[in-house]
Structure formats: C-alpha cells, structure tokens
Amino acid sequence: MNKIRCIGILTSGGDAPGMNAAIRAVTRSAIYNGMKVKGIYRGYKGLITGEIEEFQTQHVSNIIQRGGTILKTARCMEFKTPEGRKLAYDRLVEEGIDALITIGGDGTLTGARLFAQEFNIPIIGLPGTIDNDLYGTDLTIGYDTALNTIMECVDKIRDTATSHDRLFFIEVMGRDAGFLAMNGAIASGAEAAIIPEISLAEEQLSDMIENGFRKSKNSSIVLVAESEVTGGAMGVAERVKNEYPQFDVRVSILGHLQRGGSPSAQDRILATRMGIATVEALLEDQRNVMIGIQNDQIVYVPISKAIKNDKPINQDLLHTLRISSI
C-alpha cells in the first residue's frame, strides 16, 4: 500500500511557459488518485515561510493557457544552508506533506537532490526551463514556446535589417547551453549561431564574416547565446566593428521577452504528460528522479544524473545551419 497521502508542489528558479499546465496536471492527477495536494508559493522560500495552500481541482481551472506560474517563484539563499533546509523539512512535516514535486531547472533540481539526501522524503523533479539544458530529456517545459518567441522576434528584426542592409547580432538566453540560439537560428533563417559549446576563436569569427556575409547578402542576422564564453551580442558586435568597420552593425537583446507568453501546444501537452507522470512515479515508489521525455516516451532520470551530466548539442544541427545559410 502506497503511504503517500499528500503531495506538495512548487515552482522555483526562472519561470517557463507551461509551468501552469504542469501544476494543473500534477494537481488533478493527485486528486484522481485519491491524494491531497498542497501548492507551495514562491518556491523553496515559501516552503520555509509556510506560504502553503491546499489545492482543489478548481484552483487549477483556466490556467493551462497562462504563461508564468500561479505558484510564483523566488530565489532562496536560505534554502542553500543546512539550517534553511531543516526549517523547510519541519514545515513539510507540519503540513503533513509526504512527497514533493519541484518544477524548475538545474538549480531547482540541485536543491531537491540535497534536500532528499538530508531528509528521507520522496522528491520528483519536473524539467521546467526555457534553456533545454537538462540531461536525460529531449525537451524541457518552456523551451518550445521560447523558441517560437525568438523566431517571431527575429522575423520582425529581419525587416529592419533588410531595409537598412545591416548586420544584426541578436542575443538570446542560454548562459551555458546553445539550444535556443542554434535552433532559433535554423528556424528564423539566420546566417549563424554563436554558442557556448563552441567557443568563438578568432578564425571562426573571420570565417563567419567572410563566408556568411558575402556580396550576395546585403543583410545578415546572427544569434548569440548570452554567455561569458561567447561574450554576448555586445562583445561580438564590438569585435566585428573593430575588425570589419565596413559593416553597419546593430545589437538586439531579447532578454525577458523569451520567458513570457502563452505556452505553445507542444509545451502544454509535454507539461501535462510530465505532470501526470510525476504522480504515477510516486505510485510506483520512485523517488529522487526527474521526469524526462526521450523519443516521445516518458522516462525516469535520476536527479543526480540530470544535473551532473552536460547535455550535448547535436552536431548535425551545426551542419544543418552551415548548409542552409550559404
């Protein structure tokens, strides 16, 4: 007999479109299976301060189409300390919560793993991050929507680039991973992507300029991942201005635009499937795993693996971009 009677759910770290769809699916799946659900507001911070409310099915009505997270999110330095995690655990015991579902990215799962190690509580992680950088899953919740947002923004910028014969460097999110920049460049027909996985050597830049911006192209667009490795769009643009003064260079930083908006159909379906899978994982006595998707099948990935291993970029995509942008 499964001893889990009450599930706590929280969102943490950067918000991602589809988090609400996941909250809805977890809540309804738990109720369907005869469990109580408690929503924890403001992530690990709310777990410590006790911002906790029991959820009924109506709490998650009409939220599947909303971006952001109804449970709010916050950074929490206190949870990074053993004392803070002890306070959080005491709160779980007080609230009668037997298992925890955490929705977020690398930092969220790192906190979850520590928490699970110190206190014997089953935790299931959901990969909610627009960066798509968690190992063990083909897709993360929010990635598809962010990609579509980038594509729409680049399409608009291209109108200006073409009208003025300009070279635009467009900065997208992805501090440690180039998935948004790479696939965003392919989807929007950009000339190149500068990503942290391939540090930009001098000859790479000159190669890109000389091959990508030949006389046959008056305007060009390059997507740059915001990263110390790439130097960001400002850093790259500065170098191009110095080394190739003949180009009319402009920079556009998309910033938080990429996080917002109504989730795409793909993100709503993914979040719903994954949310239901969290409760099924608990019913199967799984613990300390992240729900992933591989080849369109739900999989359980040990949280330690999801955060320790780097997710490799598909080299075929680089090849695809190189060929399609000549």
Q: What are 264-292's pLDDT values in tens digits?
A: 999 999 999 999 999 999 999 999 999 99
Lowest mean per-residue pLDDT among 37-51, 150-164, 204-218: 204-218
0.85 cut: is pTM over it? yes
In the block, which residue shows the tokens 């540090």? 199
Q: Is 75 exposed, middle or buried (CB count within 10 Å of its CB: 0-12, 13-18, 19+)? A: middle
pLDDT, position 193: 87
| pLDDT computed for residue 8 by the predictor | 98
Is 131 considered catalytic here?
yes
Contact 281/301 with Cβ under 8 angstroms? no
In degrees, to the nearest 5, what angle opens at C-alpha 12 toward C-alphas 107 and 118?
60
Distance, in Å, from the CA atom of 263 to the CA atom of 16, rounded to the nearest integer, reads: 9
Which residue among the candidates 15, 98, 106, 131 is catalytic per the annotation? 131
**What's the mean pLDDT in 147-166?**
89
pLDDT, average across residues 242-266: 90
Helix crossing, 143-164 with 179-188: angle to 10°? 50
**What are the pLDDT digits (tens) for 169-186?**
999 998 888 899 999 999
